[in-house]
Amino acid sequence: MKRLILALALLMPASGAFAADALISEPSAYSWSGVYVGGTVGYGWGKSHHFTETIPDSTDKFTIDGALGGLTLGYNYQVDRWVFGAETDISAADIHGEDPDGASNWGCGTGCQTKVDWFGTLRARAGMAFDTTLPYITGGLAYGHVKGYIDEFPEYDGAETKAGWTVGAGIEHAFSDHFSVKAEYLYVDLGKIKIEDFGAPYGQGYADAKFSTARIGMNYKF
C-alpha cells in the first residue's frame, strides 16, 4: 500500500507537467488561418462633456449610448495553438447623449449634445485556440465622426472625423470549416473635437467622446 501511494505521488507531478505541456503546445485540430469577412451588431455606451481649456469650464459628464452595426475584414495566422491576426471594421452608429441639466450647466440652454454617427478600427489580434474556440485580446487604431451641438443654437455646432485608440477582448467559436460566431468588447477613445471659439477669456470650446461597445458577430473564413 505504501509503495502504491509512493508511486502515485511520483506520477502526479509528471502527469501534471504533461497536461500543461499538452495545453500549451498541442496543435489545434481546427485551423484558424485564413482571410475572413463578417458582420457585427451591438450597443455602445460611454461619457462625454463639453468644455474649454483656456479658463477651464465644463458641463457635467453625461451619458452617450445607442445601437451600432457594421462590417469586418480580417486575417489570421496560426502557429500551434497561438493565433495572430489583423482586423479592420467599420460601423454605423447612433451613440448619442445630452447634458441632462440644460441651462444649469455652462449655458447649454436646452442641452449640449454629443453624437458618434460612425466609427471604425484597425486592430491587431492575438489568442490561444482551444480547437474551435478562440479567446483573444485586441487593440489598435480607432477613428470616427463625432458631433457636438445645441439644437436651438446653430452657431454652436462642431463635427470632425477624429483618430484615437481602442483596446478590448473577445471570444470566437467556429461551428463549421467556414462559419464562426463571436462576442467582443471594445473600449474606444476618439479624443476631442472643436465646437466653437468663445474668444477671451475662455478660448476654444471642445466636446469629447469615449465609449465602450459590446457586440456579437458572424464571420465567413475563405
The cell for 85 is 491576426
Its sign, for the CA torsion 41, 42, 47, 50, is positive
pLDDT of 17 reads 40
C-alpha distances (whole Å) from 137 to each of 46, 86, 110, 140, 183 are 21, 11, 41, 11, 12
Length of the chain in terms of residues written: 222
Across the range 131-158, mean pLDDT stands at: 94
112 CB-side CA count, 13 A: 27
> Is the pLDDT score of 43 beyond 50?
yes
One of 3.30.1240.10, 2.150.10.10, 2.40.160.20, 1.10.10.60 is the CATH number of 30-221, namely 2.40.160.20
Mean pLDDT over the full length of the chain: 86
User: What is the torsion angle, in degrees rounded to the nearest 10, for the CA atoms of residue 72, residue 77, residue 79 and residue 82?
Assistant: -20
- 75-93 pLDDT tens trace: 999 999 999 999 999 999 9
Q: Taking the domains of the chain in order of start, what are their residue ranges?
A: 30-221
62-79/113-128 β-pairing: unpaired
The single-letter DSSP state of residue 142 is: E
The gap between the terminal CA atoms of the chain, to the nearest Å, is 58
Q: What are the tens digits of pLDDT across the range 17-38?
A: 433 444 444 556 899 999 999 9
Task: Please state, in angstroms and rounded to a whole number, the distance separating the CA atoms of residues 128 and 137.
Answer: 10
How much is the pLDDT for 106? 61
Q: In this predicted model, which residue has the larger pLDDT, 44 or 4? A: 44
Does the structure show a pLDDT above 80 at 195?
A: yes
pTM over 0.75: yes
Q: Are 69 and 91 in contact (CB under 8 A)?
A: yes
Q: Under a CB-based contact definition with an 8 Å cutoff, are residues 128 and 96 in contact?
A: no
Supply the pLDDT for residue 6.
39
Chain-centroid distance of CA 172 in Å reads: 15
